[in-house]
Structure 1
Amino acid sequence: MNWNKRLLNTPIIGDITKKIASIKVSRDAYNIAEHFTQFLEPQVAINNELKKEAFKIRHNVYCEELAFEDIKEGGLEKDEFDDQSIFSLIKHKPSNTYTSCVRIVNIQQSDQLLPIEKFCLDSITNEELHPKNFNRSEIAEISRLAVKSDFRRRKTDQFKGSATGAIQETTYSEVELRCFPFIAIGLYMAAATMAIDTGVKHVYVMMEPRLARSMKFVGIKFQQLGDPIEYHGLRAPYYISPDIFLENLSPGFQHLYQSIEHDISGQLNSISLA
């Protein structure tokens, strides 16, 4: 199976890169932030029911749609790293539907590994930012980002079964359709908040290089740590820290981040106080 071709043609990568590239002035970014918060709500998976929603989304995207993983009995996609993870989802408010999910994999015990350490450690050639150099409790990985196809389709995709997934144009307003491609950005912002609020100082992610380049348009500047390898498609290891994230985020998208950070931090605090 040609994972590289399949991933490059998937809407998770394609929609966001094209949409981000179209943002040229901060006013557009402010508008997206307003639209995003009007229709979409980030949530921390504070209970097993919300975690189950994340596992369903992952199964829908990774198993049923893209076939990166085998179909699982029960329709839940889970792995060995979920027990050491915090999850975030983004809900579409009008339909009360969960659109997407992401997780931060933390190190909770000294013998635990991050996914990148278990499967892709040799791809990291930057010795200075190698995870072995840092306190184990201060490293984490952004992992298993998934957006359901219904919330990835561009309004220009009119034909049924298009590469970006089916959607009923009459179901969502034009304003809603404009903000849907930015769900992935919202997930990265939610992941950043979860990392910062749990004391993480060094974050890793295996990412398609084209997506990493596109993220620079909004000021999310991942640092590449090695050459791309074949890992469910052509992906490379990347690094980002809270300082790098906060210092480079573009003014327009700072507005979106502040809103997401407020929601996520409040929910994380409710967990710690429970």
Structure 2
Amino acid sequence: MKKLRKYTEKPIIGPLVKIFINIAINRQANQISKHFTEYLSATVATNQNYKSESFKIRHKVYCEELKFEKLQPTNEEFDEFDTRAVHCLIKHKPTGDFAGTVRVVTSQNPKQMLPIEKFCLGVIHEKSVHPSDFPREEVCEISRLAIPKKFRKRATDKFNGSATGSINEYNYSEKELRCFPLIAIGLYLCAASVCLNIGIKHCFVMMEPRLARSLKFVGIVFTKVGPVVEYHGKRAPYYINRELLLSGLTPGFKSILSVIEQEVSNQFNTK
């Protein structure tokens, strides 16, 4: 009788475990999404004022703090690629301050090179994917991710902090702290939402390998296509496409992508 009971009960345990696992996953996904939407929102720089905010953040990080670029009298950092880039910002809702920025550089023809093609072309492995492998209107480069110092953990965290979104924990509540590690991820998801809106399918980026590893934990899986070189710090070239992004994201961050994508779509529709 005991053997029979074990045999008949076994098929019931499997589905129950799956149900509890799914409940736990969905609960965690909802918590992650709630933390993001409660404190942060995605903004596309659809006007010059927003673009100026982006350029000011970049100047503070890239020119004043890291000294990667020269100081500008306007206190705004921009270059030749910005005229054909879509600029993204993450806003901290309680203060109204912008917590970070990133840009999506587009290209319509081979003469409009991406930054990675102009400055780091030889870094991409010969047998790896290359921007020239795809229609120009379907490729982009995500670059100039910058997060202001006050949203980072320690003054000594300099470049590392600007990439990962660590913040000064003494300025914010414990509840808010749970959300701030999402700033860098939110910026990449905002850039991804822009790509989905304008038909970009293939994306390249020069980033720190440790940031690539961090993004991998949440399912944003970039493919490394070249070695680490000195380019605004130790960085390597990476590639991702639409299918890799959508298939890799964990449930919580899929939920955030859905929220950000809706915000971005609304802003594109009201341009």
Name the TM-score class by shorter chain: 0.7 to 0.9
In structure 1, the partner of 2:204 is: 204
The structure with the largest alpha-carbon Rg is 2
In the superposition, the TM-score normalised over structure 2's length comes to 0.83
Superposed displacement of residue 126, structure 1: 4.5
Structure with greater contact order relative to length (CA < 8 Å, sep ≥ 6): 1
Larger deviation: 103-112 or 58-67?
103-112
Q: Secondary structure at the match of 1:42?
A: strand
Which residue type is aligned with residue 74 of structure 1? T
Pairs within 5 Å for 1:127-206? 127-153=127-153, 161-163=155-157, 167=168, 169=170, 171-206=171-206
Q: Secondary structure at the match of 1:179?
A: coil
In structure 1, the partner of 2:76 is: 76
In structure 2, the partner of 1:95 is: 95
Change (3 A) 1:27 1:126: farther
Distance 1:151 1:166 in 2: 4
Give the number of equivalent residue pairs. 241
Could you report, residue by residue, the CA deviation over 1:167-210 in whole angstroms, capped at 9, with x for unpaired residues? Answer: 473x4221112211210000000000111111111100001111
Q: Secondary structure at the match of 1:49?
A: helix
Percent identical among aligned pairs is 50
Superposed displacement of residue 108, structure 1: 3.3
Distance 2:128 2:218 in 1: 26
Change (3 A) 1:138 1:166: closer
Which residue type is aligned with residue 172 of structure 2? Y
Matched, 1:111 2:111: yes
Any conservation in 2 of the 1:40–1:90 contact (CA below 8 Å)? Answer: yes
Distance 2:63 2:209 in 1: 23
In the superposition, the TM-score normalised over structure 1's length comes to 0.83
Superposed displacement of residue 162, structure 1: 4.7
Any conservation in 1 of the 2:85–2:105 contact (CA below 8 Å)? Answer: yes
Distance 1:76 1:219 in 2: 33
Pairs within 5 Å for 1:238-257? 238-257=238-257
Any conservation in 1 of the 2:128–2:225 contact (CA below 8 Å)? Answer: no
Which residue type is aligned with residue 41 of structure 1? S
Superposed displacement of residue 218, structure 1: 0.3
Distance 2:27 2:124 in 1: 38
Superposed displacement of residue 269, structure 1: 2.0
Which residue type is aligned with residue 40 of structure 2? L
In structure 1, the partner of 2:226 is: 226
Matched, 1:61 2:61: yes
In structure 1, the partner of 2:35 is: 35
Q: Which runs of 5+ in 2 are unaligned?
A: 1-24
Distance 2:257 2:239 in 1: 19
Larger deviation: 93-102 or 120-129?
120-129
Q: Secondary structure at the match of 2:91?
A: strand
